[in-house]
Amino acid sequence: MPDSENPATPVTFPPAFLWGAATSAYQIEGAVREDGRTPSIWDTFSHTPGKTVGGDHGDIAVDHYHRYRDDVALMAELGLGAYRFSMSWSRVQPTGRGPAVQKGLDFYRRLVDELLAKNIKPAITLYHWDLPQELEDAGGWPERDTAYRFAEYAQIAGEALGDRVEQWITVNEPWCSAFLGYASGVHAPGRTDPVASLRAAHHLNLAHGVGASALRSVMPARNTVAVSLNSSVVRPLSQDPADLDAVRRIDDLANGVFHGPMLHGAYPESLYRATSSLTDWDFVLDGDLELINQPLDALGLNYYTPSLVSAADVSAKAPRADGHGASDHSPWPAADDVAFHQTPGDRTEMGWTIDPTGLHELIMRYTREAPGLPLYITENGAAYDDKIDSDGRVHDPERVAYLHGHLSAVRRAIADGADVRGYYLWSLMDNFEWAYGYGKRFGAVYVDYATLERTPKTSARWYGRAAQTGTLPEVEAV
């Protein structure tokens, strides 16, 4: 299958390109009450009636805590070269304060050792949304102290694993933590306060900065520190000036609020103006921007679908088609007069339009935004309604086509001069998909939730061949 955007683009990737898969702790580990682990905000949220589809929760998830050796063996069988996983803060440092629990750290030590024994590079994400509940009870991310608690946790993790793990990511998708967690309330902790969400965004930025410094203070200089952002590709419905202004405002809230201070040491002035009716940003203290603006060794980009926006009549009542769940409260502070529209094209089970051109656009934007900074695609993937056939196989040609299209976009970006060094498929296996429970399957490996048996889907075999050869097999070959 030729590259539909540019048939001349080579399909061979650089020899050092990392082919990986990604997961997060609460979505796969289970064992929520074992070995000293205390509740996180997602334990609390998922056990609150009405917060997740079917009342689903991660108490068992896919039991990776007990099955990690089998899961690593499966990665090795598929030929993956890297595995990005997150640590559970409350498993390592119960309640988010005080000394580490060695049994919690030992789990991650065993996992890392198993990966290294199979020649799979571990990449650790320190924070993938599972704040210890006691820190939320003390105010959560809207409170400044939470950032400094995170730095202590980062130091614990770096001291324990920095000798064997070279790739580190501070926080994953801080936009979701701040705005879905504290503005729209569709994610844990389920709060709906737009001012709190902006405070949370700043303190997540601060956590990244002080966390990066804490990691570097205890790790070998060879190790790399990055952050993973779900930066949005925001497009206008028309070229009308009002629609273009809507793009700028959403771009500030989706992207500039994080990459501004992280990459450039400043928030966009237009963000301050647009949110002035809510806050004067007095929670940004002297010296904060310098703390946040730490040198990065790489930038992780997570991409699923573009956004299409226009100016809107605030009196018009219509569902907000931004792809971030249903809520009467917006995750976009001070932007109620912006409308989101469904982009045209085929969609995944999440209702997200499939558009590889957005991934190419995103990569090239950050190639310009941060010249010289290596990039990784730390999440990209699709949910489909996968079923086991009568012969015990899971055939998912839609996902194969999705991966081929998006990996082709990555290869085009490399050909266009982008320094993209790896790709982490989301996700290694089906798991607890946050507020959607177990109803959305993103995995390359099918999980029978009754038996927890793992079955590689057609896409897993296809992706494994790509990882082993550095080229994209034909879609028709699956």
Residue 168: the pLDDT is: 99
pLDDT at 87 over 90: yes
Q: How far apart are CA 371 and CA 366, in angstroms?
A: 8
pLDDT band (50, 70, 90) for residue 477? low
In the chain, % of residues over pLDDT 70: 97
In the chain, % of residues over pLDDT 90: 95
pLDDT at 37 over 70: yes
Residue 284: the pLDDT is: 98
pLDDT at 363 over 70: yes
Contact by Cβ (8 Å): 226, 232: no
pLDDT digits (tens, 9 = 90+) for 179-219: 999 999 999 999 999 999 999 999 999 999 999 999 999 99
Stated as kind and residue range, the H or E segment containing 263 is: none
Sheet holding 338-341, edge to edge: 234-236, 307-311, 338-341
Mean pLDDT of the chain: 96
| Mean pLDDT of all residues in 454-458 | 98
| 181 alpha carbon, distance to own chain's centre | 14
Stated as kind and residue range, the H or E segment containing 408 is: helix 397-415
pLDDT at 7 over 60: no
Closest CA to 62 of 324, 458, 461, 441: 441
* More confidently predicted of 11 and 165: 165
Residue 11: the pLDDT is: 75
Residue 204: the pLDDT is: 99
Residue 10: the pLDDT is: 53
pLDDT at 421 over 50: yes
Taking the complete model, does pTM exceed 0.85, yes or no?
A: yes
Residue 478: the pLDDT is: 54
Q: Which residues fall within 8 angstroms of residue 156, CB to CB, at 6 or more apart?
A: 92, 93, 100, 105
Alpha helices in 47-191 (DSSP H): 64-78, 89-92, 102-117, 133-137, 145-161, 174-175, 181-182
pLDDT digits (tens, 9 = 90+) for 246-295: 999 999 999 999 999 999 999 999 999 999 999 999 999 999 999 999 99
pLDDT at 237 over 80: yes
pLDDT digits (tens, 9 = 90+) for 371-394: 999 999 999 999 999 999 999 999
One-letter amino acid at 389 equals D
pLDDT at 9 over 80: no
pLDDT digits (tens, 9 = 90+) for 302-356: 999 999 999 998 766 777 889 999 999 999 999 999 999 999 999 999 999 999 9
Active site residues: 173, 379
Respond yes or no on whether the N-terminal peptide bond of residue 390 is cis (omega within 30° of 0).
no
Residue 114: the pLDDT is: 98
pLDDT digits (tens, 9 = 90+) for 52-86: 999 999 999 999 999 999 999 999 999 999 999 99
Residue 1: the pLDDT is: 36
pLDDT at 2 over 80: no
| Mean pLDDT of all residues in 30-42 | 98
Burial 293-322 (b: 16+ CB within 10 A, else e): bbebbbbbbbbbbbbbbbbbeeeeeeebeb
